Amino acid sequence: MSDVRATTLPADAVHITTNSDTEPFWQYAKEGKLVALQCGSCGHFRMPPTPFCPECQSTEKNWKELSGRGSVYSYAVIHGFPGIPDITLVGAVVSLEGADDARLVTNIVDVDPSEVQIGMELEVTFSPISDGWQLPVFRPAQG
Amino acid sequence: MSNGLRDVAIVGVGATPYYKRGGSAPQTNLELAGKAILAACEDAGISVKEIDGFAYYSGAGAGYGDKMDTADFMETLGIPEVTFTASLTSGGGGAAGSIGLARAAIVAGDATTVVTVMTLQQHKQRLGSVFAASAPDPINSFLQPSGLSGPGHLMSVLARRHMHLYGTRRDAFAEIAISTRENALNRPKAIQKKPLTKEEYFNGRIIADPLCLYDFCLETEGAVAVITTSAERAKDLRQKPVPVVAVAHGGRREWGRAFAWYGMPDEYFASSGNAPIAKRLWDQSGLTAQDIDVALLYDHFTPMVLMQLEDYGFCGKGEGGEFVESGAIRYKGGSIPVNTHGGQLSEAYIIGMTHIKEAVEQMRGTAINQVADAEFALATGGPASLPVSGLILGSAA
Ligand SMILES: [Zn+2]
């Protein structure tokens, strides 16, 4: 146990770019919605978003809105970032409820890093980053 | 039992001194690489003018932020004509496999005397923050914001899953760091020559929990070159030829799309991605892990050594922690000496090439920490983005 709380990188330190495959994910995030890319033909989920379904090679896309719940698949507790030596981040791979095996690489916030465990239940929250975008991150599920 | 490929052999190795980050200036990467190539030619007993092929990896990148160029080498070293110059894609995972690229050229008749070289300076871009430093693009926008800023950070997430699934302890990572350091103590060129105690290991600064400073490889500079030629031609050169018994590069989608994407199933998530390479090496050679006398395993981060021991079958899946903690990988007293040269953790990090150099020396019987009567050496490249790779060399004859 410690007083340290896991956080995100400062908003102005995070820049993203998009392409036609990934843009909808970020547009939904701006509206506070967590989505995953599902194949429009066979229903297979894939993240990050890419042009083809690796199962059936279809380019049909269905952006499925998720419950926003997830669980920790694995994680690292990161001490320091270039230019920000004192920051503590929990970089995590999160399994997304309702999206089969698709996972998101994200941060777990509002938690003592020593309490994070594989399997821990999470819920999404959105954190502002550069250029008006919102980053989906996760905190321990409330009840 | 098959006798393996044995149609080409390594006939020369050369290296510069190894330097701490920033220590190789004012030499340039071109100068460092050239010195390693000339040293390898000297070792082989050939003129640099006899080189007619280059087989690189890492896309012919010289470390991070610089390139190698065949025309530069030809112009500055006086190589009259090349008939083959090619590179394996992606990064350090192709180190061992680059010898297979050289072999492909020689067997096809496209070249006779092929150089593989790597040179590394870290003043433009350190390895440790390479992902944080790259410009945002649509795919890394799904990774960069998390703060997983370097390869060790990524692999710490893989290591955590291995610990969760199999009960692997940090004590195993400590043993890899400590035993590797032990092997560096008597090596004149090693960067780290002070013994590492378990207490020091556990007091080491945590960088990406569960990994600490001592789990990360060194940030060093220098160059290493290797010369490969046909088995026939190798007989007439200065050194006893070291035959290439098996070599493979590649990997499965389950590993390749997932490293930094993190979508792979558990079998691959908590792995080094080298299992498909291992299978091909054993198929080519008729050997098994039990036939290997010394293993030079790509050690950019300690847990990935453990996972390679599993992928190559030195122990069972999930048993790497226990295997390592038993002392099995020690040069003195172990059943499979690992990284007898001190590895990238303690000797120097030249993106996989020191492992090939050590494998050659072990097969010549001239290594500083020589494994007695060693007949087969395994050298690996990766775990990293695909391709990963492996190489088995046989004793010199
Ligand atoms: Zn599909």
- pLDDT (0 to 100) of residue B1: 53
pLDDT beyond 90 at B331: yes
Whether this model's ipTM surpasses 0.95 comes out as yes
Q: Do residues B357 and B273 touch, judged by C-beta distance below 8 A?
A: no
**Sequential DSSP letters for B87-129:** E-SSSGGGTTTHHHHHHHHHHTTS-SEEEEEEEE--SS--GGG
Question: For the residues of B237-302, what is the DSSP string, one character each?
Answer: SSSPPEEEEEEEEE--HHHHTTTTT----HHHHTS-S-HHHHHHHHHHHS--GGG-SEEE---SBH
Lowest mean pLDDT among B99-108, B120-129, B208-217, B294-303: B120-129
C-alpha–C-alpha distance, residues B324 and B269, integer Å: 20
- Which residues of chain A does B253 touch, with a Cβ-Cβ cutoff of 8 Å? 54
Banded pLDDT at B134 (limits 50, 70, 90): confident
User: In the structure, what pLDDT confidence band is assigned to residue A116 with cuts at 50, 70 and 90?
Assistant: very high
B333 touches chain A (CB under 8 A): no
Average pLDDT of every residue of chain B:
96
Burial of B296 (0-12, 13-18, 19+ CB in 10 A): buried
pLDDT at residue A2 greater than cutoff 70: no
Whether the Cβ atoms of residue B148 and residue B158 lie closer than 8 Å to each other: no
Q: Which two tokens stand for residue A45?
A: 């989920």
Over residues B160-180, mean pLDDT: 98
pLDDT digits (tens, 9 = 90+) for B260-281: 889 999 899 999 999 999 999 9
Element (H, E) at B177: helix B170-184
> Would you give the DSSP letter of residue B338?
B
Confidence at residue B39, expressed as pLDDT on a 0 to 100 scale? 98
Three-state SS at B367: coil
The answer to whether the CB atoms of B141 and A103 lie below 8 A apart is no
- Residue B210: asked if its preceding bond is cis (omega within 30°), the reply is yes
* For residues B236-253, average pLDDT: 97
Token duo for residue B112: 């006779």
Is residue A26 within a helix (H) or strand (E), and if so which, with residue range? helix A23-30
d(CA A18, CA B211): 32
Of A36-45, B78-87, B247-256, B304-313, the one with minimum mean pLDDT is: B247-256
The answer for A 93-112 residues in CB contact with B (under 8 A) is 93, 101-107
Interface test with A, best of B146, B257, B271 (most A CBs within 10 A): B146
User: Any residues with CB less than 8 A from the CB of B310 and at least 6 apart, and which?
Assistant: B271, B272, B316, B317, B318, B319, B320
Q: Do B367 and B358 form a contact (C-beta atoms < 8 A)?
A: yes
pLDDT for res B187:
97
Q: Is the pLDDT of residue A129 over 70?
A: yes
Question: Is there a contact between A82 and B129 if contact means CB atoms under 8 Å apart?
Answer: yes
In the stretch 22-81 of chain A, residues with CB closer than 8 A to chain B read: 22, 26, 46-48, 54, 73-81
pLDDT tier for residue B359 given thresholds of 50, 70 and 90? very high
Residue B332 has pLDDT above 80, yes or no: yes
Nearest alpha-carbon partner for B8 in B84, B93, B92, B118: B84
Q: Which of B138, B153, B263 has its CB closest to that of A22? A: B138
Nearest Cα to Cα of residue B272 among B386, B170, B175? B386
Hey, what amino acid is at A41?
S
Q: Which residues of B324-357 are buried (b: 16+ CB within 10 A; e: fewer)?
A: bbeebbbbeeeebbbbbbbbbbbbbbbbbbbbbb
Nearest Cα of chain A lies from the Cα of B167 at a distance, in angstroms, of 13
**Structure-block tokens of residue A96:** 């997304």
